[in-house]
Amino acid sequence: MDKIEHIGIAVNDLTASNALFEKLFGEPHYKIEEVASEGVRTSFFRVGPNKIELLEATNDNSPIAKFLEKKGEGIHHIAFAVANLEGEMKRLEGEGFVILPGFPKNGADNKRVAFLHPKGTNGVLVELCQEIRVAETA
């Protein structure tokens, strides 16, 4: 793994939290993006070289809705940048980690993503993400 790509925080109300985190960081979010397949609306902040992702549920079946119901607002996942998502998934499965079903798929912020089951990582939901490269012209 290359570095922490971002930290994801589950929030009840993205608009209210955007205003709060803008005050905290002294900078507004730089994008809002909905990932319909995951039932989430996200916003991203830059803090120096780091990124923070806020996540709001867009429907009751969203994994974020379930997380908020169980645990309330707070840190939801830590995302690590990887250069080769499939290769890293294979390596981690070989080490006994469990990849959540349905991944990899396209996530927010131009990333291909997969998640590890938090039961195998001391309760921490780990996201792996690889930047999707824009197709190069020959």
Nearest to 27 by CA among 48, 53, 4: 48
Nearest to 105 by CA among 54, 36, 51: 36
If binding is defined by CB under 5 A, does position 79 make contact with Zn ion? yes
User: What's the min distance (Å) between Cβ of 98 and Zn ion?
Assistant: 18
Nearest residue to Zn ion by CB is: 8
Helix (H, G, I), strand (E, B) or coil at 78: strand
Which stretch, 26-34, 80-88, 97-105, 119-127, contacts Zn ion (CB under 5 A)?
A: 119-127
If binding is defined by CB under 5 A, does position 8 make contact with Zn ion? yes
Nearer to Zn ion, 5 or 137 (CB): 5
Which stretch, 2-10, 25-33, 44-52, 91-99, contacts Zn ion (CB under 5 A)?
A: 2-10
Q: In DSSP terms, which residues pair with 105 in a beta bridge? A: 113
User: What's the min distance (Å) between Cβ of 64 and Zn ion?
Assistant: 11
If binding is defined by CB under 5 A, does position 35 make contact with Zn ion? no
Residue with tokens 């974020």: 64
Which stretch, 14-22, 57-65, 73-81, 82-90, contacts Zn ion (CB under 5 A)?
A: 73-81
Say how far apart CA 91 and CA 10 lie, in whole Å.
Answer: 29
Nearer to Zn ion, 8 or 63 (CB): 8
Q: In the chain, helix, strand, coil percent, each to 5?
A: 25, 40, 35
Q: How far is CA 52 from the centre of its chain?
A: 9
* Contact positions vs Zn ion (CB under 5 A): 8, 53, 79, 127
